[in-house]
Every structure is written in C-alpha cells, then in structure tokens.
Amino acid sequence: MDANALRVDLDVVAAAEELRRAGAASVVLAGASLGGAAVLAAATEIAPPVQGVIALAAPSIYGPVDPTAAVERSRVPTLFVSAGGDPLVDVTRTFYTSSPAPDKRLLIAPGSEHGAPVLEDPGTRAAVDAWISAHSQQ
C-alpha cells in the first residue's frame, strides 16, 4: 500500500487548491473524526491560508495523519467541537488550549455522539453555521 494512501490531509489541501482555481473567494474547512484530523493537519499547508477550520471530534492521531503539531502552530481561525460525552472530548479541549490561533472557539455540545452526528443538536448546528457565515465573509 502507498504510504500516502491514508494521508487524507493531502486530499484536503488538493481540494482547497481546486476550489480556489475554480474561483472560490473564501474557503472554510470542516471535518469530523478522521476528517477533523485531516482539516486540522491540512490548514497549515494551504497558502494563502483558509478563512477558517471546523474540527468535530478530531483525534490526536489517525493512521499517518497527526494534527497535533499543526494545531500547535496554526493561526487559522478554528472552531473545535465535541460532544461532552464523546470519549475524544479531552482531545478537543487539549487542541483548543494548545492552539495559538487568536480567533478560536471551543464548543462542547450536549450528548455523547462522535463526529458529524453532534450536528443533529439544533444549537450546535446553529453555532457551526454561524461560524461558517462569519468566516466565509472575510
């Protein structure tokens, strides 16, 4: 198997580049679980920087994707989201604390869902939608 086969962060970088080639004026990355790890890892590799990142229950490492170092140096606006009962909630809190981004937010949603199902909560969905709106207008 190709060593980059599971490097989904590289797919995120390529997707952002393609969106910009197609004329996108702003790009906000969002991902859940492995996708959350991918968008966090990719955010520091995209130039010019994306307007924002939303990471839903991102693990600290998933196969070859390790977003920890990227989070620790990223200045990209980031919304870190996890359900309070998700086993990865402490990882989400650690990412938030270690991020030097001047524009960051921690959102602990109700429930114990992992990843995208956390968006089924209307308040969480509204907060994520508001983050996207605020950061795609820049």
- CATH class, domain 8-16+26-136, is alpha beta
pLDDT digits (tens, 9 = 90+) for 104-116: 999 999 999 999 9
CA distances from 136 to 77, 84, 98, 102, 131 (A): 11, 27, 24, 17, 8
Residues near 5 by Cβ (< 8 Å), separated by ≥ 6?
none
Class of residue 126 by CB neighbours under 10 A (exposed 0-12, middle 13-18, buried 19+): exposed
- Give the start-to-end residue ranges of the domains of the chain: 8-16+26-136
* 69: confidence class by pLDDT, cuts 50, 70, 90: very high
Cα 14 to Cα 95: distance, rounded to the nearest angstrom: 24
Model's pTM, two decimal places? 0.94
